[in-house]
Structure 1
Amino acid sequence: MVFGRSKRKAGDSGAIVDFWTWWPTVRADVEAAISSGDWATLTPQVSRRVEAIHPDLEWEFYRGTTAKHALVVSAAGVAELRPVAARWGALAPPADATWEYHTARQADPAVLEHTIGIGEGVQLDLAQLHFAFTRAEDSPEIAVVAYHPGFRMLGEDARRSVTFLALDWLLGEDGVEEWIGEISWETEPPDGAARPNELAAAVEALREEFGTPQWILLRGDSPEGPVIVAVQRPLRPVRWPRFDTHVAITLPYRHRTEAGLPEAESLAALRDFEDNALTPASGADGILLAHETGAGARILHYYVDADSPAADDLAEAAGWWKDGRARVERHFDPALERIGHFR
């Protein structure tokens, strides 16, 4: 395994094109270095190329899942970097027998059968690692507590690193981001501590239940009256890695109940406008993740790719709303923080 983290603050999207232009010129050298272990020249080269894309991306050469080798350029769980890694991956060449390309570390549970060195002189047999895990009723995520008897010999940072690395090896980086909620670790065996394969099975069951995003309805109250929210769940940014910009479109409506909710005529108009004007405007470069209705207005929460025209197209389409003056706001929000309270 060879990996690195870019450090300086620089880069633009043109660097992605430059990376993939450069890659064929060095690919054979990388294959030779994997065999020989001589990375003295190549590691700085790869780091410079990745740094040019974004200073905080991480890169890694690893054993492939279907190809012989894999090149991973990862956001390392940082929401702001996920769209950058996704754009890098979108321009990758097709996988072949020798190379495959990923924007997140892939699962490799076999690593958990080995011993790893942590710090100076501490060896952890990962076969002794256990996880206790719980899930609230109807929740699309699992809370995890990691335990290893060797945690007693480690500081807090090292325990955290081992826990997150182990979860990545067990579930893959995206699997952790998508299905795991609160993560903690203990120096004493927690109740319900189980082997890693049991956690993997629980995540697989969750994936089968929520693999296709589901719309749910939430109801609440505001000072102006009742509010009804429709939202996709699981609401996890990793599901939509390119969509880093929040476009909130507020549509006032005329025909409403005393409580401020839309009557049949306005409700039909809102649905038609969403289906036939707004969503087509976002196209393949955006998605509607939630809308909230109350007090005489509906706010539709679209997320789009900032490198596409989708935000401008949505703003133009919103101008055709006839029931009042539409308002459009946009913000950089790769972590879905502006609708996180709907989770």
Structure 2
Amino acid sequence: MFGRSKRKAGDNAAIVDFWTWWPTVRADVEAAISSGEWATLSEQFSRRVEDIHPGLEWEFYRGTVARHSLVVSAAGVAELRPVVARWGALAPPPDATWEFHTARQPDPEVLGGSIGIGEGVQLDLAQLRFAFTRDESSPEIAVIAYHPGFRMLGEDARRSVTFLALDWLLGEDGVEEWIGEIAWVTEPPEGAAEPAELGAAVEALREEYRTPQWILLHGEGAGGPIIATVQRPLRPVRWPRFDTHVAITLPYREQNPAGLPEAESLAALREFEDTALSTAAGADGVLLAHETSGGARILHYYVDADSPAADDLAEAAGWWKDGRARVERHFDPAFERIRHFR
């Protein structure tokens, strides 16, 4: 059973209300899953999920460890990830019957079956193939989906089948974290392979980045050279709670002719980042990039808007002694303000 919310958003109290209500309907849901008789239950679930936030999707599915799972998903909408993260944080611990997820989990066995599209069209998912490539400088894989039946489908249906198949193969979070450009074609693409090969490629990439990596980037701006250090993979799904961008600009006095920091200023920048700012961010924020040029370093933090981390960072920035720090903050759950680093 599944549904999608449509009404006006509620607040965090609706999440608490949901988990207070859940034990009162748990047995009814288990009975409905067995019998298929949902009566008013689906309407109740839609209403409860809608009270949390519009646009959320919910679904009952078989569990990965427990017998059943309840998924409340942001459906790929970055602005909704912090909402489902808060919902998931208050979920009860899993037991033999129930587990709870904030994204659809991988279920590659589904790709051995078929799916109905419109009236009278059944696609044998075992015929689905993926061609995929990876730019070695980027931790993401570009994918082209192909199925012989795509010739019978419209563009929207091809897109729907492609994204459903990727979700079944990799899980929603796996697609968000590791898949870049996605396309679908009606003729076999070069390098088309069975889905398991794409799954293995994603697993290899995940293993490569098991420990996040920092890379050094060089560029040229109007004021001279720019040096940036960036954490990768730089995907917001990795930090679903952190929806607010806090940019801290620290000017420095001691610099070379190119405007880059030297000696004491360089050491002070490093120490300030590692001590005052790191402490201020705590467990509710993360530094994802910093860029240095023209006598200033900009540190890009992302924090949980429901925490004091943004205020704490702003206060800590005021302790900088090598010039007057500047702090800007913006709601940015999709990480648009650091997209140029990807």
TM-score, scaled to structure 1: 0.99
Question: Which has the higher mean CA deviation after the structures are superposed, 329-338 or 137-146?
Answer: 137-146
- Tell me the secondary structure at the aligned position of residue 325 of structure 1: coil
Give 1:254 shift.
0.6
Partner of 1:341: 340
- Tell me the secondary structure at the aligned position of residue 208 of structure 1: helix
Partner of 2:310: 311
Runs of 4 or more above 2 Å deviation? none
> 1:46-82 CA distances to partner (integer Å, 9 max, x unpaired)?
0011001101000000000000000000001111111
> 1:295-328 CA distances to partner (integer Å, 9 max, x unpaired)?
0000000000000010000001111001111100
Partner of 1:61: 60
Give 1:201 shift.
0.5
- Tell me the secondary structure at the aligned position of residue 46 of structure 1: helix
Does residue 148 of structure 1 match 2:131? Answer: no
Provide the C-alpha distance between the structure 2 equivalents of 1:279 and 1:17, rounded to a whole number of angstroms. 31
Give 1:40 shift.
2.1
1:76-115 pair list within 5 angstroms: 76-115=75-114
Structure 2 unaligned spans of 5+: none
Does residue 184 of structure 1 match 2:183? Answer: yes
Does residue 274 of structure 1 match 2:276? Answer: no
- Tell me the secondary structure at the aligned position of residue 323 of structure 2: coil
- Tell me the secondary structure at the aligned position of residue 256 of structure 1: coil
Provide the C-alpha distance between the structure 2 equivalents of 1:335 and 1:212, rounded to a whole number of angstroms. 22
1:170-209 pair list within 5 angstroms: 170-209=169-208
- Tell me the secondary structure at the aligned position of residue 18 of structure 1: helix
Give 1:213 shift.
1.2
Partner of 2:45: 46
Letter in 2 for 1:138: S
Provide the C-alpha distance between the structure 2 equivalents of 1:153 and 1:316, rounded to a whole number of angstroms. 60
Letter in 1 for 2:127: Q
Provide the C-alpha distance between the structure 1 equivalents of 2:138 and 2:317, rounded to a whole number of angstroms. 34
Give 1:10 shift.
2.0
Partner of 1:300: 299
> 1:172-222 CA distances to partner (integer Å, 9 max, x unpaired)?
000000000000000010000000000000101111111221000000111
> 1:14-60 CA distances to partner (integer Å, 9 max, x unpaired)?
11111111101111110000001011210010001100110100000
Give 1:9 shift.
2.0
Partner of 2:230: 231
> 1:80-114 CA distances to partner (integer Å, 9 max, x unpaired)?
11111111001100000000000000000000000
Partner of 1:75: 74
1:249-264 pair list within 5 angstroms: 249-264=248-263
- Tell me the secondary structure at the aligned position of residue 156 of structure 2: helix
Partner of 2:118: 119
- Tell me the secondary structure at the aligned position of residue 143 of structure 2: strand
Give 1:137 shift.
2.0
Letter in 2 for 1:133: F
Provide the C-alpha distance between the structure 2 equivalents of 1:250 and 1:40, rounded to a whole number of angstroms. 57
1:25-36 pair list within 5 angstroms: 25-36=24-35
Partner of 1:162: 161
Provide the C-alpha distance between the structure 1 equivalents of 2:183 and 2:210, rounded to a whole number of angstroms. 25
Provide the C-alpha distance between the structure 2 equivalents of 1:204 and 1:270, rounded to a whole number of angstroms. 37
Partner of 2:21: 22
Structure 1 unaligned spans of 5+: none
Letter in 2 for 1:215: W
- Tell me the secondary structure at the aligned position of residue 95 of structure 2: coil
Give 1:339 shift.
0.4
Provide the C-alpha distance between the structure 2 equivalents of 1:234 and 1:265, rounded to a whole number of angstroms. 32
- Tell me the secondary structure at the aligned position of residue 163 of structure 1: helix
> 1:199-246 CA distances to partner (integer Å, 9 max, x unpaired)?
000101111111221000000111111110000011001100000000
Provide the C-alpha distance between the structure 1 equivalents of 2:9 and 2:184, rounded to a whole number of angstroms. 35
Letter in 1 for 2:285: G
Partner of 1:139: 138
Provide the C-alpha distance between the structure 2 equivalents of 1:268 and 1:139, rounded to a whole number of angstroms. 30
Provide the C-alpha distance between the structure 2 equivalents of 1:90 and 1:319, rounded to a whole number of angstroms. 33
Partner of 1:326: 325
Provide the C-alpha distance between the structure 2 equivalents of 1:179 and 1:129, rounded to a whole number of angstroms. 20
Give 1:139 shift.
2.0
Q: Percent identity?
A: 84
- Tell me the secondary structure at the aligned position of residue 122 of structure 2: strand
Provide the C-alpha distance between the structure 1 equivalents of 2:256 and 2:109, rounded to a whole number of angstroms. 60
- Tell me the secondary structure at the aligned position of residue 25 of structure 1: helix
Question: Which has the higher mean CA deviation after the structures are superposed, 208-217 or 191-200?
Answer: 208-217
Letter in 2 for 1:225: G
Provide the C-alpha distance between the structure 2 equivalents of 1:171 and 1:254, rounded to a whole number of angstroms. 49
After superposition, the CA RMSD in angstroms is: 0.6
